[in-house]
Amino acid sequence: MVVTDRTPLFVAGGSDVDLADPQFFTGDRFLDVAGEARRRHPVAWTNPGRDGFWSVTAYRPARDVLRQPETFTSTRGMRLGSGGASVAAASGRMLVVSDGADHQRLRPAHARWFSSRGLADLASGLRDTVEHRLRDLVGRGGPVDVVAELALPVPSWVLFTMMGVPREDWDELAGLTAAGFDDADTAPAAAAERTAAHSAIFAYFFDLLEQRRADPGDDIVSTLATSNYGGRPLTDEEIVLNCDGLLNGGLETTPHAISGAILAFARHPEQWRRLRADPGLLDTAVEEILRYTSPPGHAMRTATRPATLGAATIAEGDRVVVWLPSCNRDEDVFPEPDRFLVDRRPNKHLGFGGGPHYCVGAALARLELRCVLESMLGTVADIHETAQPARQASNFLNGLRRLDVVLDPAVSTVTRAGGPRR
Ligand code: HEM
């Protein structure tokens, strides 16, 4: 009999720390606990006796895990708590839970739409949308919840436009997406509601697919429906599963980067002034936002064979959870990692993951962030928090549920609006 030695144990933060519990992440302890873990045991067995897993909190072992899909597979799920049946249904057919030949076939089917060139046509419409929304928010003069009013609508506008979803369906689909990926409640009834939301999303895209097959347009669903990949067309199930994957990738991450950026600038006003004084820093600012906010809280893998990771011996079948926000604060890689610096360089963050599953939507996410910042530079002089932000209850979606701020108008806005707000 093989005896598995699962040490060191994750002890950072004390015995009340439960990284599998979504509610733990509504507080602000995670980064401190993760910092202690990086120093004491960067790869550690977590939650022993409660469906345990390995936690990777340091940059270098995390990169090793992400770059070795043969040893650390995504095909058995890539997030903690994802259900066995739903992963089994999607494995090998949905990009993010596929490896090897399946992944290589599905990736080009997505990549065409997300290349910088493919996105160029979208940019001006996106700029107008963001600009219009920001002017409205700034013009209101009082506190606004920028999660609901800016961070959620902007990525929805982009993705639904790219997918050819009719305008009248956006609210319904956005609601189903939020319900389908809301993992705050781990009770079976809540899991059943999530499954029901995904079933409704699948049904929606089966209908849209049928329409696009009959009358193809210039949109992602039509492209997936009418092209050959790896010598054969995608099946209807593959198309619908990957539409669901795009909603997850596009609507559950970018909002957290946008609202997280606004909070970071509210708390570091000198960095906002710095960026306004030198817009040439926009590119480094976007990368710093991605590092500092790190929207996905983790990426999970399962070991396909025994492996060594730092001081830990991983057994076949063990789950390995890479805590991305922690890796992005690793002091061995990022000097003064807790500082938010718009001119940070180099900045090889893991905000988009690494290896073959590196975010396929990265260029789109960068474009969205850049558009929001550019618009804000022209419209917003200062950002003030007016209430304690509410964090999302999730170990996967690392970000805010609500953020109330006042956006002080920049001079150009004041002039165009015909007078100062106060
Ligand atoms: C700030 C915004 C975003 C962040 C921080 C982010 C982060 C990530 C990360 C960390 C992964 C790797 C997951 C893993 O290794 O298991 C990933 C994969 C993925 N992302 Fe993003 N993402 C963002 C925006 C988007 C957008 C806008 C889309 C598309 C609309 C998208 C679609 C995807 C897809 C389909 C994958 C799977 C790629 C693969 O498995 O090959 N993401 N993303």
pLDDT in tens, 176-225: 999 998 888 888 888 889 989 999 999 999 999 999 999 999 999 999 99
Best mutation site among 87, 110, 253, 348 for ligand 1, i.e. most ligand atoms within 8 A of its Cβ?
253
Q: Please give the distance, rounded to the nearest whole angstrom, from the Cα atom of residue 21 to the centre of ligand 1.
A: 23
Antiparallel, parallel or unpaired: β 319-322 and 299-303 = antiparallel
69 lines ligand 1 (CB under 6 A): no
Instruction: Look at residue 413 in the predicted model and tell me its pLDDT.
Output: 43
Q: Which two tokens stand for residue 386?
A: 């007016």
Q: Hey, how many other C-beta atoms are within 10 angstroms of the C-beta on 15? A: 6
Average pLDDT per block of 10 residues along the chain, 422 residues long:
82 96 96 98 93 97 98 97 88 97 94 85 92 95 96 96 96 93 85 91 97 94 91 95 95 96 98 98 98 98 97 96 98 98 98 98 97 96 98 95 97 45 34
Cα distances (Å, whole numbers) of residue 144 to 126, 140, 141, 403 = 21, 8, 9, 8
How much is the pLDDT for 69? 98
Ligand 1 contact, 319 CB (< 6 A): no
Residue 350 Cβ < 6 Å to ligand 1 = no
Strands ordered across the beta sheet of 43-46:
43-46, 53-56, 319-322, 299-303, 72-73
Summarize pLDDT for 304-330 with one digit per residue, the tens.
Answer: 999 999 999 999 999 999 999 999 999
Ligand 1 atom nearest to 257, measured from its CA: 1
Which residue puts its alpha carbon closest to atom 9 of ligand 1? 352
pLDDT for position 2: 62
Domains, in order of start, for the chain: 22-417 (1.10.630.10)
